[in-house]
Structure 1
């Protein structure tokens, strides 16, 4: 990786036109998933989701988007809506409110975001039906971190696919985080193909990156070769050759064997954390799939964002738990979520489980 990037730096870091590195990497990414007819590169996961939504609007000529309550999709006004909703403002479960994250968010932006509950087919479809003529797309993360790292149910994903097909909307998967899950992304766990997939993080090999991959006819809205594109997309550093070389090098190494090995470590991690919970005799559980996991200080796993939401009192206990993990040498996301790396070994997983056990014992009186 270092050698490949260093060699490219000597040749140049940014150009005003496409490069061979971009073409070769695009071919590699598209070759990993049959749903990827074409791909365009940008500079972050936020940009990838933003561009995906704008592409859906350009393709359908409709303004509104639908997203799952609590799901994180980056910093775009529309994508971040209801990501931090609270009991006092999240509204009824039958009609979740569109809640801003950032102060000063335009009200008209909130009006164009339809919020649906996670893994609740009937309520979700009822909400979507009320906006069927205005929705450009439905956006979903198949293993949403902030909802609780609970996999999307097969019937939920299928229902959204059917609804979008029947009502002229697009289905967008946010795989900025979850693309690590299989050779072609978490969507390959399901018998469903999206119209657009937003990519990021790992596909940059440690450099800033984002990607929009999808159906050829949908991706055509970004094509400038046949007159003005319905959605013009460009960026000074998009598809820069350093990122393309780094990403391509990393993803060639992340082959099927590497994916299988990392997912096996994920299974080992969840099993060993579950055993630590049993030994500590604490009301806790662990969720996740593939090479990701999340620890919850509750007996039962949450099923949606509202169940995963922590009161101030519970949040304080969880913060103390994460602090104990840090004291033991384990740096964990503040939600107790872990993402494994190909550099890790089974011994690393065993050591991690030991730290988790110590931390669980320390917070036991407060759980």
Structure 2
């Protein structure tokens, strides 16, 4: 290639600036592993950020990076989005939080009810984890059943039942026809594992059979229409139909987890793939960059939260639930996510996926790309996987993906490791071309590793 890229000659301890190294040394004195959350990428030291503007981050050493993480897809408008900054500034001058409700929570709820199909009533919480947690509780309260079903490898937050089989491995994930419920953390109660039925994504017959088998105890099936951690793989229409039809027939509620994938269109992801859920969990983009979560759905199911006649079937509170800062920021952000904004995101996403795919094809690289709209993920395998098990990389593939993230960082792009990459509205065609150029540089400079994977397939 004519372009010159950084990469293989840079020593591991030079991949971050001096101030990031100093910050990490301080952090190791106050955090168990030097970080405040497991999702922080470090190789071997995290990049500490000073500020963000639009689609770019600037670290504490003054270096600039195109941000494809966007705080795990949250910042759909990028950093320091002017309407959000203005809205928050005005709200802070009026107060940051109150025990009483505010008009802004009604306005944001009205927007969501008007926009998202099947959302007739809403309750706000503080995180996507809480949204899924209370959706599961609502399903239990409504049905009187305790079990849930979920997809193997799909992430639904840090709730014990939602974490089951999140990180299943080949040595413990069990029979393909009847996946084993596996613990995510040491000390998970065995009773939790017994309460979760694990399904394989896109396994039509398996979904019908397992849901039917456990129907009398299942309160809900939790389904992310395109699980990010599960590979960002498109759902088969017949799989969506199998889940929905079997659930309806057996009185099982369908919870669509759109905390991440609500960004797929103006009306979210479920409508895009033909899913008609009973409950929808939302978060990330609806908070404008501030902490938020929401549960929405059918009026009769949402009535489990209704405290107007006394103690509800499902009590739900939270000191910062529906706080005016998150409500105000979310409203400012969502009002500017119109048809034109989504068309722009989809155009750039299509360009990146198409051009990355073309670069792979032209070089015969043993890679593939998945995703939709403003989301994409690169896999170290030739065939597009159908589910989490097929997307699980071999050791050489996992090493290659780490090298990919490293190469991107060395060339000015934050590409999440082992997770979905996202495009934001301030990005332009030149940013998309930058992504493609750096990816091409990676392919050309890592032929030995690519050949090793090619020989294994």
TM tier relative to shorter chain: over 0.9
Alignment partners' CA distance in 2, 1:296 and 1:190: 23
CA deviation after TM superposition for structure 1 residue 317, in Å: 2.0
CA deviation after TM superposition for structure 1 residue 324, in Å: 1.1
User: 2:453 matched to which residue of 1?
Assistant: none
TM-score w.r.t. structure 2 length?
0.79
User: 2:405 matched to which residue of 1?
Assistant: 322
Q: CA RMSD in A?
A: 1.1
| Contact 1:44-1:208 within 8 A present in 2 as well | yes
CA deviation after TM superposition for structure 1 residue 347, in Å: 0.7
1:282-322: per-residue Cα shift (whole Å, max 9, x none)? 11111111110111121111111111112333211221122
CA deviation after TM superposition for structure 1 residue 360, in Å: 1.7
User: 2:396 matched to which residue of 1?
Assistant: 313
User: 2:138 matched to which residue of 1?
Assistant: 55
| Contact 1:295-1:336 within 8 A present in 2 as well | no
User: 1:236 matched to which residue of 2?
Assistant: 319
CA deviation after TM superposition for structure 1 residue 195, in Å: 0.3
Alignment partners' CA distance in 1, 2:224 and 2:340: 25
| Contact 2:225-2:273 within 8 A present in 1 as well | no
User: 2:108 matched to which residue of 1?
Assistant: 25
| Contact 1:268-1:349 within 8 A present in 2 as well | yes
| Contact 2:256-2:281 within 8 A present in 1 as well | yes
User: 2:48 matched to which residue of 1?
Assistant: none
User: 1:124 matched to which residue of 2?
Assistant: 207
Alignment partners' CA distance in 1, 2:245 and 2:381: 35
User: 2:379 matched to which residue of 1?
Assistant: 296
Q: Residue 263 in 1 paired to residue 346 in 2?
A: yes
User: 1:36 matched to which residue of 2?
Assistant: 119
**1:86 match: secondary structure:** coil
User: 2:370 matched to which residue of 1?
Assistant: 287
User: 1:277 matched to which residue of 2?
Assistant: 360
Alignment gaps of 5+ in structure 1: none
Alignment partners' CA distance in 2, 1:4 and 1:321: 38
Alignment partners' CA distance in 2, 1:278 and 1:326: 24
Alignment partners' CA distance in 1, 2:114 and 2:107: 11
| Contact 2:221-2:254 within 8 A present in 1 as well | yes
Alignment partners' CA distance in 1, 2:440 and 2:197: 41
1:76-123: per-residue Cα shift (whole Å, max 9, x none)? 110011010011110001110110111111110111010011111101
CA deviation after TM superposition for structure 1 residue 37, in Å: 0.2
TM-score w.r.t. structure 1 length?
0.98
1:55-91: per-residue Cα shift (whole Å, max 9, x none)? 1001001000000111111111100110100111100
1:186-225 equivalence runs, <5 A: 186-225=269-308
Alignment partners' CA distance in 2, 1:68 and 1:99: 12
Q: Residue 159 in 1 paired to residue 260 in 2?
A: no
CA deviation after TM superposition for structure 1 residue 190, in Å: 2.8
CA deviation after TM superposition for structure 1 residue 336, in Å: 5.7
| Contact 1:196-1:215 within 8 A present in 2 as well | yes
Higher Cα Rg, which structure: 2
1:90 pairs with 157, 170, 173, which one? 173
User: 1:183 matched to which residue of 2?
Assistant: 266
CA deviation after TM superposition for structure 1 residue 280, in Å: 3.3
Alignment gaps of 5+ in structure 2: 1-83, 451-457
Q: Residue 106 in 1 paired to residue 106 in 2?
A: no
The count of residues paired between Structure 1 and Structure 2 equals 367
Moved over 6 A (4+): none
User: 1:76 matched to which residue of 2?
Assistant: 159
1:13-42: per-residue Cα shift (whole Å, max 9, x none)? 111122111011100111112311011110
Q: Residue 168 in 1 paired to residue 168 in 2?
A: no
**1:79 match: secondary structure:** helix
CA deviation after TM superposition for structure 1 residue 158, in Å: 1.4
1:148 pairs with 207, 220, 231, which one? 231
CA deviation after TM superposition for structure 1 residue 364, in Å: 2.2
